[in-house]
């Protein structure tokens, strides 16, 4: 573009149209470059950390994304009111919405991202595939036609051949995506995908693709500027996924050779140059076992996993975004890009891996992150995890000279994470990183599905866990004799405890002996503990000849423990009445399994239902969860309406059991 005058667009304050960890991440780079920062927040985020850390903050609406973070007019008004000259969308929400980028342009605001035209061209999965096909880039066979009728979609799915993948054309993150094994399952999957896409992105349009069996998910990070420069920053391997959402990302990929990296990078750069792309973007590919790669989609924004690219390149991608948006050239050429070592990121999510990764919300009573490693988060002890947004609450990123070094550092860091009060996938992530398939660098998108039983297997030392829980419940009971170092004047009477560690109620007996030790007994197994130190949140003790330590938090009859890198949640049910069949829905009452919003009531009063039949769909943290009948019978009452927000345990459907 020699001889072309490129206009600079200076700004001095940036409004971040997002929340949580990415808002704080953007603030960090913006402040380092001298910009003021403005936050926006919903009613659910009034006390959130990103709000407290900003120079200014503006309320934009109610809790649901459609009433706040997806309200274009409210965000533009917030930018105007705060005096911001630029808007950074982060990722998710409006980050890939061309109408939002256009609204910023029309309001005289700099949109820190690509142009509305580029977002429209590449952010829409159907449009992006057409562009790539014309450019000769290999694409997954599929259908992206205008006819979205149920009948037409089923016909096209049959033409492609099952299994097929339904994908929302707008957005990503696994929302609006459904794998379908056969024609019989197609109608329900199509309805669910459309509903989820409408709720997450405001657009129910979907495309169909042939499902590539057990591929690697490889993405190429690209950058362009308004001077005609474009580069790629190598690949990231994002194959470890659940529900088509990434859990572990790393760079470089063990499946990508230098030659393949050069080919995929050249394709990506050619694509972004063809549309005059500005800013950060990512082209996503499926890599099959034969080394063939197929374009899936382009994300016209910063990615969640951008820190691993930063770690191996030494570049600050948010800084590059800000400089490009200001009108500066990239300032780095392709030949300047050098890769150093290996980086791995995990997404710490508030979800219960043992119960189909069900999202969890509530109060994070104690939150402490490890030192000496990069952690991106926006929480503190006492923070609320609302049910309205994505379940990811933190990213932990390691960097090492080798992949094994990075993996070891990450495991060690995760073992130190203290997250008490809301269930997370901490232990599941550790098990993934330790699994031999992942350790060998052989994980594909089928990794979790193929190894699910091993990854979710009960801990072999469950008896020891139960004994430790009994010890802590005993010594932290306000009515128990106070702990003191050394011998006891007299042995205490044995105390029988009923404890639930998430695998059913277990009975165990504990007693303090004359020598000051504690003995826990269960089914003839004996566990002896000697406490060396005890305070309100930690214990150091001897057990089986080892000195160990654990962190803990007691809240009434509930106990959280971090021991040997695993967080345990225990309930003291000693004084509680036995649980009835109602907990499993055996009383005919279907209860909400989490806080969430009712998006579909699938039955009506008077309907006959079979046990296990879907009766209601609840949306929590951007994902849909089908609730089923616990018994066969007749629906006697529908206790909720579509659109209603419900709390965990609320009765939503009542069924009169068949005689």
Annotated active-site residue in 301, 522, 591, 597: 301
Q: Is 564 a catalytic residue?
A: no
Q: Taking the CA atoms of the chain, what radius of gyration do you get in angstroms? A: 27
What three-state secondary structure class fits 351? strand
Give me 284's structure tokens: 């996503």
Contact status, residue 237 vs residue 217, Cβ threshold 8 Å: yes
For the chain, the straight-line distance linking the first and the last C-alpha, in angstroms and rounded, comes to 80
Per DSSP bridges, beta strands 651-657 and 589-591 are antiparallel
What single DSSP character describes residue 482? P
CB 204 within 8 A of CB 197: yes
| CA angle 344–349–354, rounded 5-degree value | 105
43: phi then psi, degrees, rounded to nearest 5 = -60, -35
DSSP state for residue 601 in the 8-state scheme? E
The token pair that represents 560 in the structure block:
């959280």
Query: Which residues touch 388 (CB under 8 Å, ≥6 apart)?
Result: 42, 44, 63, 64, 65, 597, 621
Q: Which residues contact 370 (CB under 8 A, 6 or more apart)?
A: 396, 412, 413, 414, 416, 417
- Kindly state the DSSP code that residue 581 receives in the 8-state scheme: G
Q: Which residues pair with 614 in a beta bridge?
A: 628
Q: Residue 594 and residue 588: Cα distance in Å, rounded?
A: 18
Angle at 447 between CA 244 and CA 128, to 5 degrees: 35
Question: How far, in Å, CA of 484 to CA of 491, rounded?
Answer: 13
Work out the burial of residue 288: count CB atoms within 10 Å of its CB; fewer than 13 is exposed, 13-18 middle, 19 or more buried.
middle
Q: Which secondary structure element, helix H or strand E, spans residue 368, and what is its range?
A: strand 366-368
Spatial distance between the Cα atoms of 566 and 76, rounded to a whole number of angstroms = 44
Catalytically active residues, by annotation: 301
């Amino acid at each position: 573009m020699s001889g072309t005058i490129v206009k600079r667009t200076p700004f001095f304050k940036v409004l971040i149209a997002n929340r949580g960890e990415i808002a704080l991440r953007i603030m960090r780079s913006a402040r380092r470059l001298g910009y003021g920062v403005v936050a926006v927040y919903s009613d659910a985020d009034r006390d959130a950390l990103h709000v407290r850390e900003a120079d200014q903050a503006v309320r934009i609406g109610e809790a649901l994304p459609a009433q706040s973070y997806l309200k274009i007019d409210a965000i533009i008004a917030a930018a105007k009111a705060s005096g911001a000259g630029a808007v950074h969308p982060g990722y998710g929400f409006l980050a890939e919405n061309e109408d939002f980028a256009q609204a910023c342009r029309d309001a005289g605001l700099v949109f820190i991202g690509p142009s509305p035209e580029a977002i429209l061209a590449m952010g829409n999965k159907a449009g992006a595939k057409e562009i790539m096909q014309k450019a000769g880039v290999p694409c997954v066979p599929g259908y992206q036609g205008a006819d979205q009728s149920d009948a037409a979609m089923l016909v096209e799915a049959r033409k492609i051949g099952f299994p097929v993948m339904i994908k929302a054309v707008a957005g990503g993150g696994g929302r609006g995506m459904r794998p379908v094994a056969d024609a019989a399952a197609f109608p329900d999957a199509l309805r669910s995908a459309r509903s989820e896409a409408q709720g997450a992105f405001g657009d129910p349009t979907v495309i169909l693709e042939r499902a590539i069996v057990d591929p690697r998910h490889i993405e190429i990070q690209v950058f362009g500027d308004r001077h005609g420069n474009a580069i790629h920053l190598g690949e990231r391997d994002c194959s470890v996924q659940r529900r088509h959402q990434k859990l572990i990302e790393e760079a470089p990929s063990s499946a990508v050779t230098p030659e393949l990296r050069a080919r995929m990078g050249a394709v990506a750069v050619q694509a972004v140059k063809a549309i005059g792309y500005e800013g950060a973007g990512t082209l996503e590919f499926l890599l099959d076992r034969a080394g063939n790669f197929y374009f899936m989609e382009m994300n016209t924004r910063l990615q969640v996993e951008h820190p691993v690219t930063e770690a191996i390149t030494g570049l600050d991608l948010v800084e590059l975004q800000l400089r490009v948006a200001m009108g500066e050239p990239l300032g780095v050429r392709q030949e300047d890009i050098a890769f150093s070592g290996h980086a791995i990121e995990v997404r710490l999510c508030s979800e219960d891996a043992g119960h189909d990764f069900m999202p969890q919300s509530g109060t994070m009573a104690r939150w402490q992150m490890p030192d000496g490693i990069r952690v991106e988060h926006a929480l503190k002890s006492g923070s609320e995890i609302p049910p309205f947004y994505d379940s990811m609450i933190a990213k932990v990123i390691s960097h090492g000279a080798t992949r094994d070094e990075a993996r070891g550092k990450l495991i060690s860091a995760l073992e130190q994470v203290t997250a008490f009060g809301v269930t997370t996938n901490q232990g599941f992530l550790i098990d993934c990183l330790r699994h031999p398939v992942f350790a060998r660098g052989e994980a594909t998108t089928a990794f979790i599905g193929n190894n699910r039983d091993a990854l979710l297997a009960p801990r072999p030392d469950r008896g020891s866990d139960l004994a430790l829980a009994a010890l802590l419940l005993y010594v932290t009971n306000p009515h128990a004799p106070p702990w003191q170092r050394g011998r006891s004047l007299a042995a205490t009477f044995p105390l029988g405890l009923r404890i639930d560690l998430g695998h059913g109620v277990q009975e165990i007996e504990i007693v303090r002996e004359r020598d000051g030790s504690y003995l826990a007994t269960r089914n003839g197994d004996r566990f002896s503990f000697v406490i060396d130190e005890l305070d309100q949140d930690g214990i150091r003790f001897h057990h089986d000849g080892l000195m160990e330590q654990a962190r803990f938090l007691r809240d009434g009859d509930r106990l959280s423990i971090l021991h040997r890198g695993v967080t345990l949640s225990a309930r003291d049910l000693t004084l509680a009445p036995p649980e009835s069949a109602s907990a499993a829905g055996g009383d005919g009452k279907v209860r909400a399994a989490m806080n969430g919003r009712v998006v579909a009531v699938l039955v009506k009063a008077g309907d006959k239902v079979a046990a296990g039949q879907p009766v209601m769909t609840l949306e929590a943290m951007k994902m849909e969860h089908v609730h089923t009948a616990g018994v066969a019978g007749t629906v006697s009452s529908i206790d909720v309406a579509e659109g209603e927000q419900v709390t965990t345990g609320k009765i939503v459907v009542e069924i009169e059991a068949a005689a």
